[in-house]
Amino acid sequence: MKKELCILPLTITACWTSAVRAQEKQPNTPNVVFIYADDIGYGDLSCNGAKTIHTPNVERLARMGVRFTNAHSAAATSTPSRYAMLTGEYAWRKAGTGIADGDAASIIRPERYSMADMFKEAGYSTGVVGKWHLGLGDKNGQQDWNKPLKPGANDIGFDYSFIMAATGDRVPCVFVENDQVINLNPNDPVQVSYQKNFPGEPTGKDNPELLKMHPSHGHNQSIINGISRIGYMKGGKSALWKDEEIAETLTHKAVSYIESHKDKPFFLYFATQDAHVPRVPSPQFAGKSGMGPRGDCLLQFDWSVGEILNTLERLGLYNNTLIILSSDNGPVVDDGYKDQAVELLGNHKPGGIYRGGKYSAYEAGTRVPCIWSWKGVIQPGSVSNALLCQVDWFATFAEMLKFRLPEGAAPDSEPMLNAWTGKQKKGRKWLVLQNSLNNLSITDGQWKYLRAGKGPAINKDVNIELGNSMEPQLYNIKKDPMEKNDQAKANPKILKKMATKLEEIIDGRYGQPL
Ligand code: NG6
Ligand code: CA
Q: Please give the share of the chain, as a percent, with pLDDT higher than 90.
A: 93
Closest Cα to residue 10, out of 127, 123, 115? Answer: 123
* pLDDT for the residue numbered 27: 61
How many helices and strands, by DSSP H and E, does the chain display?
10, 22
- Taking 90 as the threshold, does the pLDDT of residue 240 lie above it? yes
What pLDDT is stored for residue 447 in this prediction?
Answer: 98
Going by pLDDT thresholds of 50, 70 and 90, the confidence category of residue 508 is: confident
Helix, strand, or coil (residue 223): strand
If you average pLDDT over every residue of the chain, what do you get?
94
The closest alpha carbon to 364, from 50, 70, 19, 54, belongs to 70
- Measured between alpha carbons, how far is residue 31 from residues 20, 266, 311 in Å? 15, 5, 13
CA distance 108 to 152: 9
Give the distance (Å) from ligand 1 centre to CA of residue 186: 31
Per-residue pLDDT of 62-96, as tens digits, reads 999 999 999 999 999 999 999 999 999 999 999 99
Q: Is any ligand 1 atom within 6 A of the Cβ of residue 56?
A: no
**In angstroms, rounded to a whole number, what is the distance separating the alpha carbons of residues 180 and 203?**
26
Q: Could you give the CA distance from residue 170 to residue 164 in angstroms, rounded to a whole number?
A: 10
Residue nearest (by alpha carbon) to ligand 1 atom 11 = 335
3-state secondary structure at position 44:
helix
For residue 174, give the DSSP letter.
B
Q: Is 276 in the pocket of ligand 1 (CB under 6 A)?
A: yes
pLDDT digits (tens, 9 = 90+) for 171-210: 999 999 999 999 999 999 999 999 999 999 999 999 999 9
CB atoms within 10 A of CB 283: 8
Q: Higher confidence at residue 3 or residue 121?
A: 121
Question: Over 50: is that where the pLDDT of 9 sits?
Answer: no
39 lines ligand 1 (CB under 6 A): yes
Predicted confidence (pLDDT) per residue in 322-354, tens digit: 999 999 999 999 999 999 999 999 999 999 999
Percentage with pLDDT > 70 across the chain: 94
Q: State whether the Cα torsion 180-184-187-188 is positive or negative.
A: negative
CB under 5 Å of ion ligand 2: residues: 38-39, 78, 328-329
Question: What are the DSSP calls for 242-300, one per residue?
Answer: PGGGHHHHHHHHHHHHHHHTTTS-EEEEEE--TTSSS----TTTTTSSSSHHHHHHHHH
| Cα 196 to ligand 2 centroid, rounded to whole Å | 26
CA-CA distance, 491 to 165, in Å (whole number)? 46
Beta bridge partners of 138: none
* Parallel/antiparallel/unpaired status of strands 370-373 and 321-327: antiparallel
Identify which of 128, 237, 81 has the alpha carbon closest to the alpha carbon of residue 172. Answer: 237
Q: In which band, very low, low, confident or very high, does the pLDDT at 22 lie, cut at 50, 70 and 90?
A: very low
Indicate which atom in ligand 1 lies nearest the CA of residue 219: 15
What's the pLDDT at 189? 98
Given a cut of 70, whether residue 513 has pLDDT beyond it is no
Residue 269 near residue 34, CB atoms below 8 Å: yes
How confident is the model over 423-444, as pLDDT tens digits? 999 999 999 999 999 999 999 9
Q: Which of 276, 328, 435, 459 to probe ligand 1 with, by most ligand atoms within 8 A of CB?
A: 276
Contact 364, 75 (CB under 8 A): no
Q: From the CB of 167, is ligand 1 less than 6 Å away?
A: yes
The secondary structure of 398-460 as a DSSP string is HHHHT-PPPTTSSTT----HHHHTTS-----S-EEEE-TT--EEEE-SSEEEE----S-SEET
Whether the pLDDT of residue 19 is over 70: the answer is: no
pLDDT tens digits, 92-136: 999 999 999 999 999 999 999 999 999 999 999 999 999 999 999
pTM for this one?
Answer: 0.94
pLDDT recorded at residue 446: 97
Q: How far is CA 268 from CA 197, 254, 271, 376, 432, in A?
A: 37, 8, 9, 20, 27
The protein residue whose alpha carbon is closest to atom 12 in ligand 1 is 169
The residue with greater pLDDT, 16 or 333, is 333
117 C-alpha to ligand 2 centroid (Å) = 24
How much is the pLDDT for 509?
52
From the CA of 218, give the closest atom in ligand 1. Answer: 8
CB-ligand 1 contact for 278 (6 Å cutoff) = no
| Whether residue 16 has pLDDT greater than 70 | no
CB of 40 closer than 6 A to ligand 1? no
Cis preceding-peptide flag for 151 (omega within 30 of 0):
yes
At residue 417, does pLDDT exceed 70? yes
Which amino acid, one-letter code, is at 68? F
Span 268-281, pLDDT tens digits: 999 999 999 999 99
Q: Is the CB of 81 under 6 A from ligand 1?
A: no
Dihedral (CA of 306, 70, 368, 351) sign:
positive
Distance from residue 159's CA to the centre of ligand 2 (Å): 24
Burial 256-265 (b: 16+ CB within 10 A, else e): ebbeebbeeb
- pLDDT value of residue 18: 45
Please determine, for residue 161, whether its predicted confidence score (pLDDT) is greater than 60: yes
Question: In which element (H, E) is residue 81 found?
Answer: helix 78-87
Other beta carbons less than 10 A from residue 460's beta carbon: 9
Given this model, what pLDDT does residue 28 score? 83
